[in-house]
Structure 1
Amino acid sequence: MTGARPVVAVPGLGLSAEIPQRLFRALPTAGPTTVVELPGFGLPAPRGLAIGLAAQVDRLLDALRGRGPGDPVVLVGHSASCQLVAEVAAREPERVAGLVLVGPTTDPRGWTWPGLATRWVRTAAHERPGQIPRLVHDYRNTGPVAMARTLDAFRRCRIEDSLGSVRCPVLVLRGLHDRIAPADWVAALARLPRDGSAVTVAAGGHMVLSTHPRLVAAEVSAFLARRVGVSEGR
């Protein structure tokens, strides 16, 4: 028998599992879905805990190995977690059948703290105010110090280095008004892997996964059907 590929998502910086779950609820054609929260990405990060790319990659790989033997998964990253899932796909390609990057960071033209702040302000004007209670809840749970430490580590990571080694199909997606992941940056990233495509959905900003999950789900569904295919049933 055949079936849809399992999908594993890592929330964006400071965000909880609820945000990628919104995508999963709008993605009925996906296989089994899992959200993996990590320190700084949905979980607190105590002082002294390693939160750099290498440590986070090891944690995500441990979670994937914990699933036991099975078919490769589709990995979904959002914002800063895009660097993480891309590095996992580059390091252990046999575990990853496809990669979805939503609002990837960090464009080298805006990686500094002032650059990131400017882009965030320009994007925030297009975000929906209704999501503020959810963001406040998630950011408080992760903690501002943990978020700052994680962002400081991940803003320096070059996702380009990972994507150049990725063998699986890759979808790079952004919201129409996302200034953190501008269209030319997303298009450039999609040209790096062997099989990449770039999409700008018709609305939303950097939090498009939260505010417009159905738009994102439509593109992800098409990507899964056309580029990733089915898995062998176990």
Structure 2
Amino acid sequence: MRCPELVETEFVSEPDQHTQGVPEQIITREGRSLHAMVLPGPPGTTAPTVVFEAGAAATRSSWGLVQPAVGRFARAVVYDRAGLGRSPADPAGRRLDRVAGDLLEVLDHFGPGPFVLVGHSAGGVIARLAASRRPDRITGLVLVDPTDEAADLLFGPVFRRAERVTLAAHGTLARLGLLRRMFRPMLNAVPADVRRDMEREAFAPGVVRTQSIQARTFLDELATWRDDPPDLGAIPTTVISGGRTGDGMNARIRAAANAAHAHRAAVSPAGRHVLAPGSGHYVPITEPELVAAEIRRLTHP
């Protein structure tokens, strides 16, 4: 899918520049380092800065198709959460409060805003929590096939057991150097420099270790949101749902996820629910221009 409006102010990077831009190190208040990459956007842009939050075990490279499209019309920032990609692990753990705190450190590094936050899968949870803490600086949210507490099946024993089995299997495959084979279509889809980064960083044992640490508390913390969700006020929120099964989601899970997404959009004063008809869970890889078009709606209202 190609959206004509995305090329009206196209920004062309230098030939020797990485697809995802220039590296930048963010030093947190505690002295920890977070690795970011930045595309500056077209010269003179006044659009909000777009900051991307990846899924539970994903690095910045998972945005390797969406971020460059967004970089044509806005400054676009990707980063690695602690323990993923090129960011060292956080010795204090990965509870939601701390993970969202790191995203806020990223925002502080890049100025007062305004910002549009984009989160995929579990990254949608992180983006919502961060936005609720700085609503004056956030002009929009795009949640891409997000994890959402309105999907009750997330908290049942079947889902939790499947999560434990999956993490154990991925840990074994990562140690054997085989995990990347499960994601060959993703690797084949992204630009060559992004693919090299993913092959080096995205399927290492440390990635699964970080995901496992987060998983210890993630669902229990998310469950508390059913009664007390983060208050997003009037922040415009677009929720994009995959339209297909697959990627670990059967018909029952897909239906529950999309119903939760519709609910999340409905409770926003400026909510929008969009279906990505050709995608399963990995919408940023299979329909990146659709995601970029929805981001543009919020940066250029």
The TM-score, its normalising length taken from structure 2, stands at: 0.63
Contact 1:83–1:154 at 8 Å: present in 2 too?
Answer: no
Matched residues in 1 for 2:229 and 2:85: separation?
Answer: 23
What does residue 76 of structure 2 align with? 33
Tell whether 2:185 aligns with 1:130.
Answer: yes
Match of 1:207 among 282, 286, 290: 282
Tell whether 2:232 aligns with 1:165.
Answer: yes
Deviation digits for residues 114-133 of structure 1, max 9, x if unmatched?
A: 32638xx9xxxxx9851268
Q: CA deviation at 1:91?
A: 1.4
What does residue 75 of structure 1 align with? 117
Q: CA deviation at 1:83?
A: 0.9
Q: Secondary structure in 2 aligned to 1:174?
A: strand
Q: Secondary structure in 2 aligned to 1:4?
A: coil
Change (3 A) 1:142 1:206: farther
Match of 1:100 among 131, 142, 155: 142
Q: CA deviation at 1:108?
A: 2.4
Amino-acid identity (%): 25
- Highest CA radius of gyration, 1 or 2? 2
Change (3 A) 1:165 1:150: same
Match of 1:61 among 104, 107, 110: 104
What does residue 88 of structure 1 align with? 130
Matched residues in 2 for 1:61 and 1:49: separation?
Answer: 17
Tell whether 2:209 aligns with 1:145.
Answer: yes
Count of aligned positions = 219
Q: CA deviation at 1:141?
A: 6.2
Matched residues in 2 for 1:7 and 1:168: separation?
Answer: 15
Tell whether 2:78 aligns with 1:23.
Answer: no
Q: CA deviation at 1:48?
A: 4.4
Contact 1:45–1:146 at 8 Å: present in 2 too?
Answer: no
Q: Structure 2: which 5+ residue stretches go unaligned?
A: 1-43, 167-181, 189-194
Change (3 A) 1:138 1:128: closer
Q: Secondary structure in 2 aligned to 1:39?
A: coil
Counterpart residue identity of residue 159, structure 2: G
Higher deviation after alignment, 58-67 or 106-115: 106-115
Higher deviation after alignment, 34-43 or 165-174: 34-43
Q: Secondary structure in 1 aligned to 2:204?
A: helix
The TM-score, its normalising length taken from structure 1, stands at: 0.79
Contact 1:16–1:41 at 8 Å: present in 2 too?
Answer: yes
Change (3 A) 1:208 1:40: farther
What does residue 198 of structure 1 align with? 273
Matched residues in 2 for 1:17 and 1:141: separation?
Answer: 17
Q: Secondary structure in 2 aligned to 1:193?
A: coil
Greater RCO, 1 or 2 (C-alpha within 8 Å, sep 6+): 1
Q: Structure 1: which 5+ residue stretches go unaligned?
A: 122-126, 227-234
